[in-house]
Amino acid sequence: MNKEILEDLTRHLIDPLGSELANNVQWWYLKGLSNSKSDVYPVTVIGKGSPILLLHGFDSCFLEFRRLAPLLSSHYQLIIPDLFGFGFCPRPKDKSYGPESLINHLSLITREASINRPLGVIGASMGGALAMELARKHPEKINRLLLLSPAGLTGSPMKVPRPFDQLGVWFLSQKSVRNRLCKQAFAYPSRDVGVPEEQIASLHLDVPGWGRTLAAFARSGGVANYGTPVPKQPLHVLWGKQDRILQESIKRESKDLLGNKLEEIDDCGHLPHIDQPSLVAARWVSLSKMK
């Protein structure tokens, strides 16, 4: 069902890079998670070479990487899943939707993608924190990490009780709110945010169960304190100087945790892979040469 929804929605995508990425979505049966042969999960696979797993952020989807993918896919195979309970994933009512479920889903993706070969991981925002946990759980399968404005490295889980979870869902469903948040994520929104960007930021809201699983994730407390211990694999972190999504206190705590592994970059907001995709690609190439 979600396959048909995605195909229908992407036919109307304005951004050509988004359309290219959407045309490379595969639907994976994940043993241990899928309830039936029709219960399949979206994973974009594009390019050839050493594999990289790319993880998007909160309430987003694989299309976050539309600008980075063309810069890496000529030398790497990119594996871009929608996080469990987000994007265009199925949302069975018998599943839980806390961070442990997200890690379980990614572990299954990693199992399928890393047969006889290690994976690199690029994680953006919440995806950065999940990348850290994934690297700790599967050190034999993950060989290096690049985090982009990671969220959830520090702090404590904050469980949102009913009915405030539903209020949050309603708030995030409002077009004006989503457009404002979309602009807030960019370094220079008046210059770089238009209808194509706003369309992609809200595309997945039409997936059945979007609000139900978002509320369940909020009740779980979300992703927090995933930064320690720092994984032993080669690690680099990019953080936009114009990031207006994460608070300065979070940035300071992350600097204390990561030290010289963290690099602040100018002309960049919360989404380095959107604002500065060429720089992100260059940093990955440099990281790939590290032993």
Number of separate domains in the chain: 1
112 pLDDT above the threshold of 80: yes
* Cα atoms in the Cβ-side hemisphere of radius 13 Å centred on 81: 26
The CATH number assigned to the domain holding 197 equals 3.40.50.1820
Q: Say what angle helices 175-185 and 164-173 make with each other, to 10 degrees.
A: 80
Q: Is the pTM of this model over 0.75?
A: yes
116 pLDDT above the threshold of 90: no
- pLDDT of 281: 98
Q: How far apart are CA 106 and CA 219, in angstroms?
A: 21
Q: How far apart are CA 162 and CA 252, in angstroms?
A: 32
What residues make up the domain containing 279?
2-288
- pLDDT of 219: 98
- pLDDT of 91: 95
Q: What is the mean pLDDT of residues 91-108?
A: 96
pLDDT in tens, 220-262: 999 999 999 999 999 999 999 999 999 999 989 999 999 999 9
Read off the pLDDT band of 92 (50, 70, 90): very high
pLDDT in tens, 3-38: 999 999 989 999 999 999 999 999 999 999 998 888
Pairing type for strands 76-81 and 119-124 reads: unpaired
159 pLDDT above the threshold of 90: yes
* Of 53, 75, 74, residue with least CA distance to 65: 53
Q: Say what angle helices 175-185 and 195-202 make with each other, to 10 degrees.
A: 110
pLDDT in tens, 66-87: 999 999 999 999 999 999 999 9
